[in-house]
């Protein structure tokens, strides 16, 4: 059987960090037991430890990047195994949930911590492995009967005792950077602090883009308009889709947007979601990225989300492009 040719979705201008991949998922092989048995014997395994928050082992490179530590299948722990796909060199890659131990020049990290420091191949592997492991952990029992399920189709489905199948599901969520559309240092973007987030060291407060799940019967664009209105009480004038990436905590697909709104509108916060929101200048955002921004009014240090998140990607892109969306055709919001 000939494997289908896969497009390279590696580093490109405007690619969110966890959207990168070089993996051929080889879905046509998931029911081929003979091929899978041989693929296991010659495969490499990425072990993810859900008991520690989904950590995997990495080694640090001299240039500041990191590389996943994969082990030959013969050295892998005894655990339920799931087929991720085939690497560029033809090596089958598997994953499993099992304990890991850092030693020597390796360390145990989560995808949140390390995703942006991995190369295209490892970013795709770790993202897929984390998402698949989280799904299996939450579907050990059938929601229909309450009885145990087992992994089938190389880990891409689970079956109950009656043979009823369940497949991994992904929850779509929107995330949007609202900005004023102004070019240069005078431009501002709107970020909020989630009410559930604790303060960090020295009272540090993290500010991020507005986000929320897409509801049944709703488009992603409509969800953007609704969530911005609900969380901060303003109307947006236009929006543009920027890209997506998996966020396997436990199983979301983050659909990223940029939107333009008038900063003169009063902010009306939903206290159950957002307890603080501000319009930040590009200068303030640059200082946040450098790790040295203190709010001049409150004296509180403020920071951005982790660099592996699509929120950070949206903010950084706005900062670096000067005025995203202003020179491109935008989708107008009617009404």
- Domain CATH for 192: 3.90.79.10
13 pLDDT more than 50 = no
Strand (E) or helix (H) holding 43:
none
Same domain, 111 and 238: no
Strand partners, 243: 256
Same domain, 250 and 118: no
Same domain, 253 and 186: yes
Specify the range with the lowest mean pLDDT, choosing from 16-20, 46-50, 95-99, 330-334. Answer: 330-334
Say how far apart CA 126 and CA 245 lie, in whole Å.
13
| pTM more than 0.75 | yes
| pLDDT score, position 201 | 81
At which of 138, 161, 195 does a domain end?
138
pLDDT digits over 83-111, tens only? 999 999 999 999 999 999 998 899 999 99
Q: What is the mean pLDDT of the chain?
A: 92
At which of 113, 138, 163 does a domain end?
138
The answer to whether residue 87 sits within a structural domain is yes
The answer to whether residue 234 sits within a structural domain is yes
At which of 96, 123, 138 does a domain end?
138
| pLDDT score, position 329 | 34
pLDDT digits over 175-214, tens only? 999 999 999 888 999 999 999 999 888 899 999 999 999 9
Contact residues for 49 (Cβ-Cβ < 8 A; gap 6+): 55, 56, 97, 98, 99, 100, 108
Q: What is the mean pLDDT of residues 273-296?
A: 94
The answer to whether residue 256 sits within a structural domain is yes
Same domain, 87 and 175: no
Does residue 177 contact residue 318 with C-beta atoms inside 8 Å? yes
The answer to whether residue 247 sits within a structural domain is yes
Q: Percentage of the chain surpassing pLDDT 70?
A: 92
The answer to whether residue 48 sits within a structural domain is yes
pLDDT tier for residue 8 given thresholds of 50, 70 and 90: very low
Same domain, 231 and 303: yes
327 pLDDT more than 80 = no
Q: What is the mean pLDDT of residues 125-145?
A: 96
Domain region containing 183:
171-322
Number of structural domains in the chain: 2
The answer to whether residue 69 sits within a structural domain is yes
Same domain, 194 and 277: yes
Same domain, 194 and 125: no
319 pLDDT more than 80 = yes
Same domain, 178 and 228: yes
Same domain, 175 and 129: no
Same domain, 118 and 188: no
The answer to whether residue 143 sits within a structural domain is no
Same domain, 90 and 195: no
Same domain, 103 and 232: no
The answer to whether residue 334 sits within a structural domain is no
């Amino acid at each position: 059987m000939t494997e289908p040719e896969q497009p390279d979705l590696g580093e490109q201008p405007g690619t969110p960090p966890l959207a990168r991949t070089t993996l051929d998922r080889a879905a046509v092989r998931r029911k081929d037991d003979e091929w899978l048995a041989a693929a296991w014997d010659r495969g490499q395994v990425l072990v993810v430890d859900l008991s520690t928050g989904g950590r995997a082992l990495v080694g640090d490179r001299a240039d500041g990047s990191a590389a996943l530590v994969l082990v030959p299948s013969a050295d892998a722990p005894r655990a339920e195994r799931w087929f991720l796909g085939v690497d560029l060199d033809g090596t089958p890659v598997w994953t499993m949930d099992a304990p890991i131990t850092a030693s020597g020049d390796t360390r145990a990290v989560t995808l949140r911590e390390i995703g942006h420091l991995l190369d295209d191949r490892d970013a795709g592997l770790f993202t897929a492995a984390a998402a698949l492991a989280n799904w299996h952990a939450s579907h050990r029992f059938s929601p229909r009967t309450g009885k145990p399920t087992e992994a089938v189709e190389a880990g891409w489905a689970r079956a109950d005792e009656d043979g009823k199948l369940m497949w991994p599901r992904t929850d779509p969520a929107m995330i949007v950077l609202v900005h004023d559309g102004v070019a240069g240092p005078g431009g501002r973007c709107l970020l909020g602090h989630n009410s559930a987030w604790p303060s960090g060291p020295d009272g540090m407060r993290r500010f991020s883009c507005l986000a929320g799940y897409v509801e049944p019967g709703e488009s992603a664009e409509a969800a953007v308009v609704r969530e911005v209105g609900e969380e901060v009480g303003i109307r947006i004038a236009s929006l543009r889709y920027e890209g997506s990436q998996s966020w396997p905590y436990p199983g979301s697909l983050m659909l990223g947007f940029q939107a333009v709104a008038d900063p003169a509108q009063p902010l009306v916060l939903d206290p159950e979601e957002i307890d603080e929101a501000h319009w930040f200048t590009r200068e303030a955002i640059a200082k946040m990225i450098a790790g040295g921004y203190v709010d001049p009014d409150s004296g509180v240090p403020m920071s951005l989300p982790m660099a592996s998140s699509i929120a950070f990607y949206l903010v950084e892109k706005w900062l670096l492009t000067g005025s995203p969306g202003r020179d491109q055709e935008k989708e107008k919001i009617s009404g």
